[in-house]
Amino acid sequence: MNADTPGGIPLERIAAIFEAERESYVSLHPRSLALAGQGIAGFYQGVPMHWMRDWSMPFPFVVESARGAVLTDVDGNEYADFCLGDTGAMFGHSPPPVAEAITRQAGKGLTCMLPTRDALEVGRLLAERFGLPHWQVATTATDANRFALRVARAVTGRPRILVFNGCYHGTVDETFVRLVDGRPVNRPGLLGQVTDLTELARVVEFNDLPALEAALAHGDVACVIAEPVMTNCCMVLPEPGFHTELRRLTRAAGTLLLIDETHTISTGPNGYTGAHGLEPDLFVLGKPVAGGVTASVWGFTEDVARRLDAVRAQTPPGHSGMGTTLSANALSLAAMRATLEQVMTPQAYAHMDGLAARLAVGLQRVIEQYEVPWHVVRVGARVEFICAPGPLRNGTEAEAAHAPALEQAIHLALLNRSCLIAPFHNMMLVSPATTAAQVATLCDAFESVIASLALDLESWQ
């Protein structure tokens, strides 16, 4: 991509539009400016979690409420929310069955380190839905991945994991490796990382089966951890046959396969795994699984359970290195039960899928109309526009497709037109509460932004 024209748009035009949108944002948010514009007292960097500074806006607006797919700020601005807490609220904010379950549980104890009646149902619901017989509950998808990888190492007796270049599976140390000029390195930007993570991980490009086979041939890889579609760089779809071969090669090498469905649960009620007949040994789902209450789950096969039993029988008593105190607490299990029983339904997914398809078509139409060299990708309820030609085949191509300055200008301009999309990439989620009118608003806003960016490009140059 040309550095002076990211996404085909001259940098000066991007800068001019960003400045105009910045002024507009400031004028639309006087109360947020007064309350949080200089940083919120007591918090490092003025926010409760440093990622809150990574949005495109000059200062974050303060949320008054979030219901369904509508977010309202303290200035009274309303947004059609397509970020949805970047997947934590994928089924809408405070889905009524979840809100009711939380209210019911609130008077009955929040955390006890013991199973509640809801736990009796949740294990069965998970096994039924995702087809694996053994489950554990953790607090975040990061933790679930960490614990599942620990089990993989324990049962295979192997040290390494294998990741795909450009992946993100939460803050799991050994997944923070990248390929730079074909060589594995620690991912740039890590703070306080004093070990060489490449000693614990192998990294190959997504869709590169010969490289995968060669990396597995060392015989030291306990587990491949993969999203079925890469969603954390610009979205990268698996090429035809990739998953079949991934499974065949991992089995042949005695390597376990962990499928992380935290984002691709957008595909359908049984995840991408269910929709495409994948056969993981380990399965992870976090974020929306309890309707926005902090929780994650990880499951595994009978074979892994049997091997884990054998390892445990040989292991002296002590801390397993897995589990955190609040994991599987009563509140999260109540919320998870409500989500699995009443929120993640086929009907909800039918609505999400239909509107997401409409959104993808609407965005693609604008891209074609204004002849910008971009494309749109969709995985069920998850849609992304990418400011580069597609399809992308791997993490390196996805990295090169990013156009940070352009994306920031677009995000801020969409926000000023009442549409919120995810901050880190150009991702939009459609929830059961999202309306056709909101999708139309987003398509119109996108068109207005692209028109200002792309019209009369020749006269600008």
Ligand X SMILES: Cc1ncc(COP(=O)(O)O)c(C=O)c1O
Which residues in this chain contact ligand X in the complex, by CB under 6 A? 140-142, 145, 168-170, 227, 232, 260, 262-263, 286-287
CB 395 within 8 A of CB 187: no
| Residue, CB closest to ligand X | 170
**Closer residue to ligand X in complex, CB, 262/418:** 262
Least distance (Å) from ligand X to the CB of residue 168? 5
Tokens of 67: 């219901």
Instruction: For the CB of residue 252, give the shortest distance to ligand X in the complex, in Å.
Output: 26
**DSSP states of 172-227 as a string?**
-GGG-EEEETTEEEEPTT-SS--S-GGGTEEEE-TT-HHHHHHHHTTS-EEEEEE-
Kindly state the smallest distance separating residue 262's Cβ from ligand X, in Å: 4
> Residue 140 Cβ, how far from ligand X at the closest point, in Å?
3
Cα 90 to Cα 79: distance, rounded to the nearest angstrom = 16
Residue 141 or 383: the one with the smaller Cβ distance to ligand X is 141
**DSSP secondary structure string, 241-300?**
THHHHHHHHHHHHT-EEEEE-TTGGGG-TTHHHHHHT---SEEEE-GGGGBTBS-EEEEE
Q: To the nearest whole angstrom, how small is the minimum distance from the Cβ of residue 398 to ligand X?
A: 14
Return the amino acid letter for 118: D
Q: Toward ligand X, which CB reaches closer, 388 or 422? A: 422
CB of 158 to ligand X, least distance (A): 22
Q: How far is the CB of 21 from ligand X (least distance, A)?
A: 26
CA-CA distance, 73 to 51, in Å (whole number)?
Answer: 19
Task: Specify the residue, 205 or 227, whose C-beta has the smaller distance to ligand X.
Answer: 227
Give Cα 319 distance to the centre of its chain.
30
Residue with tokens 């947020």: 32
**Residue placing its CB nearer to ligand X in the complex, 142 or 431:** 142
Nearer to ligand X, 184 or 292 (CB): 292
- The number of beta carbons lying within 10 Å of the beta carbon of residue 319 is 6
Nearer to ligand X, 370 or 424 (CB): 424
Q: Is 409 helix (H, G, I), strand (E, B) or coil?
A: helix
